[in-house]
Amino acid sequence: MIMPRVSIVGATGYAGGEIAAILCGHRQAEIVGLFGSGRRGEEPAAIEDLHPRLRGRLAGRIEAASVEAILATRPDAVFLATPHEASHELAPRLLAAGVVVLDLSAAFRLPDPQQYPSHYGFAHAHPDLLARAAYGLAELNAEAIAASDLIAVPGCYPTSVILPLRPLADAGLLDPRAPVIVDATSGTSGAGRTPSPRTVFSEVSLQAYGVMSHRHEPEMAVHGGAEVIFVPHLGAYDRGILSTIHLSLRDGTTEREMRETLAAAYADCPFVRLLPSGRWPSVRDVERTNFCDVGLSVHPRRPHAVISSAIDNLVKGAAGQAVQCLNLRFGLPLVEGLLAEGEREVACRTS
């Protein structure tokens, strides 16, 4: 176990700022560099000016991002909270220098390079790295994460879907003839910090978007183990995701069987909370935490189940998950930086 030196690229944005905030409470990692996202027009700025909640907790300037500047901080690990194309360019050069890369973009999440032009608008030039990348869903891929120098941190919507879906698919509880239907709602922070008319406070409203075309759909299918039809919605709140997942079940599948499957899959995972029958997750209950809350019910007369899951899109859906991956990769306690002292003790007793 070492105390990793960490640089954050994209510290100007919501996810990068969230990583910085989490690492301020991390006892076994050291922030050694803060950088912009690589977008044109970014000027160096004090971290506390862009993220005032860090005032008095973290000092330093966010500098312009370049490989040379990042490597000058002598990092053991670099978080890339950057646009897909920027990660696609930066990651290979950082890896060649012996740095562990935790990429929060989608540049390395899909194993097939042919999917990137249609879903992300660029041709992937590093298929060898796609084969090396570990998908960073800590609860389901811990061994690969611990062994990899390139970790593709999952998207926020996929995290909320794959966590409850994958164990059920692996157990053969789903009807393979029917797709999984996902309706999910995210707060406006999911759109990033760059303002747009759709996310301005006086304009935002509950509405669907990206219908039948959202780029997270293939990620859900590839890593969730089932065909998915996904409809995202924008909610009139700042952070959090609530996903409603409709499943057609194999004949004879019971709610008890589903609950036992999920409970076994996450018995040692302190951040996944399976709620009792009759209780349903809410965004408020997971806000500013790394938890994923899951509730479910099976129709009394049909082979159909509804699952509801809730996460904070900036924590479990981005920064918190990335820190989980950092902890796994460097042999640190999984909950370090993500739970307070008393909560750590509870997690250790119950996991």
Alpha helices in the chain (DSSP H): 14-24, 47-50, 67-72, 84-96, 116-120, 127-132, 142-147, 156-170, 216-224, 255-265, 283-286, 320-329, 341-350
Q: Is there a single domain that holds both residue 221 and residue 255?
A: yes
* β 304-311/207-208 pair status: unpaired
Residue 202: pLDDT band (50, 70, 90) is confident
185 and 240 fall within a common domain: yes
Q: What is the pLDDT of residue 37?
A: 83
DSSP string, 153-188: PPPHHHHHHHHHHHHHHHTT-B-TTSPEEEEEEE-G
Backbone phi, then psi, for 303, in 5-degree steps? -80, 65
Residue 110's CB: how many other CB atoms inside 10 A?
23
Is pLDDT at 342 greater than 70 in this prediction?
A: no
Instruction: Name the catalytic one among 156, 269, 325, 348.
Output: 156
What is the radius of gyration, based on Cα positions, of the chain? Answer: 20
pLDDT > 70? residue 344? no
76 and 170 together in one domain: no
309 touches 281 (CB < 8 A)? yes
Q: Do residues 64 and 124 share a domain?
A: yes
Residue 269 is among the residues annotated as catalytic for this protein: no
The rounded percent of the chain whose pLDDT value lies above 90 is 80
Same domain, 197 and 341: no
Identify the domain containing residue 258 by its residue range.
156-313
Asked whether residue 165 falls in the same domain as residue 150, the answer is no
Taking 80 as the threshold, does the pLDDT of residue 339 lie above it?
A: yes
Contacts of 319 (CB under 8 A, 6+ apart): 15, 16, 18, 19, 21, 22, 81, 104
Confidence of residue 349 (pLDDT cuts 50, 70, 90): very low
Are both 327 and 249 inside the same structural domain?
Answer: no
The mean pLDDT value for 291-313 works out to 97
Residue 33 clears pLDDT 90, i.e. is over it: yes
Tell me the pLDDT tens digit for each residue of 246-281: 999 999 999 999 999 999 999 999 999 999 999 999
Indicate if 308 and 161 belong to the same structural domain: yes
C-alpha dist (Å) from residue 24 to 20, 113, 218? 6, 36, 34
The mean pLDDT of 316-320, rounded to a whole number, is: 98
The angle subtended at Cα 191 by Cα 194 and Cα 15, nearest 5°, is 80
**Strand, coil or helix: 32:** strand
Residue pair 35/10 in contact by the 8 Å Cβ criterion: yes
CB under 8 Å to 18, separation ≥6 — which residues?
314, 315, 318, 319, 320
**Which CATH number belongs to the domain containing residue 144 in this structure?**
3.40.50.720
Average pLDDT, whole number, for the chain? 92
Instruction: Say yes or no: 201 and 257 in one domain.
Output: yes
Give pTM, 2 decimals.
0.93
| 214, 253: one domain | yes
Total domains present in the chain? 2
β-pairing, 292-298 vs 304-311, is antiparallel
Same domain, 211 and 174: yes
Residue 307 has pLDDT above 70, yes or no: yes
Query: 286: domain CATH number?
Result: 3.30.360.10
Q: Do 163 and 73 sit in the same domain of this protein?
A: no
Query: What share of the chain has pLDDT > 70, as a percent?
Result: 95
* Residue 298 DSSP SS3: strand
pLDDT at residue 351, as a whole number: 37
Per-residue pLDDT tens for 45-95? Answer: 899 999 999 999 998 899 999 999 999 999 999 999 999 999 999 999 999
Q: What is the DSSP letter of 316?
A: I
Residues 180-198 have a mean pLDDT of 85
